[in-house]
Amino acid sequence: MMHAPVSATASSAPSRRLWPLVRWVAGFGAAALLAACSILPAPTPVDTYVLPGAAWQRAATTEHARAHPAASGTALRIARPVADGLLSSRRIAVMPQADRVQVYQGVLWSDSPANLLRSRLLDAFLADGRLPWVDTDESPATRVDYLLTSQLRAFHSVYENGSPTAVVRIDAQIVDTASNRAVASRSFLLRQPAASKEVPDVVQALGQASDQLSKDMVDWAVQSLRGASTSH
């Protein structure tokens, strides 16, 4: 028994009538999608700042000491400063008034102030070269005679007489790891006027204040460890 072939003409006619509707729906959907994309807010550009400072050269004796630490030398480890609130974030803080804390918009630090300051302290100790072995709490576990711990209290700009001044404050102590006893403690406060109200100048002032604070901490630590060594 033979079957008659099925004709495609009858079934394709409705499909041809639907094509204009399909094209209209597709076009409307694409237009709606483009319109939705055009009303989304554009991302706000963000400038990222490293902490500027002196290009310190590490002393050759320090490089040798790190490669060949003397058994009788003092090994110091720099712990990451403890920081809370904005000091633990990457926002660049400013105090336009004594009772108000704000942040500069559209700018960030490359890392948290605590991490930036720890790196600056390490650079300062290595450039100084008077201690034979200095590392940080991010370094692999090695011998540690003393631990430099600290609390970061301020790392911002404050307006004084209409102009910004960089303020960096840190409370530090040196702990004898053998006895877990603090052998020295001191607070450091540095203020550095900025050249203008512009963010790059404020950042530059914070870098200069961090440089001087780091140098002061190195001198204090070296003198304190000399005293601690002679008392043992």
pLDDT in tens, 77-99: 999 999 999 999 999 999 999 88
φ/ψ region of 162 (left if φ > 0, alpha if ψ in -120 to 50, else beta) reads left
pLDDT of amino acid 95: 96
Phi, psi of 80 (to 5 degrees): -60, 125
Q: Which of the pair, 34 or 151, is modelled with greater confidence?
A: 151
pLDDT in tens, 111-123: 999 999 999 999 9
Calculate mean pLDDT across residues 207-229: 93
Q: Which of the pair, 41 or 144, is modelled with greater confidence?
A: 144
Dihedral of CA 177/178/180/182: which sign? Answer: negative
Please check the confidence at residue 160 and state whether its pLDDT lies above 80: yes
Please check the confidence at residue 64 and state whether its pLDDT lies above 60: no
pLDDT of amino acid 48: 97
- H or E stretch at 27: helix 9-39
pLDDT of amino acid 68: 43
Q: Are 118 and 89 in contact (CB under 8 A)?
A: no
Domain ranges for the chain, please list them: 48-231
CATH number attached to the domain at 48-231: 3.40.50.10610
Q: What average pLDDT does the structure give for the chain? A: 81
pLDDT in tens, 128-154: 999 989 999 888 767 899 999 999 999
| pTM higher than 0.85 | no
pLDDT of amino acid 221: 96
pLDDT of amino acid 69: 43
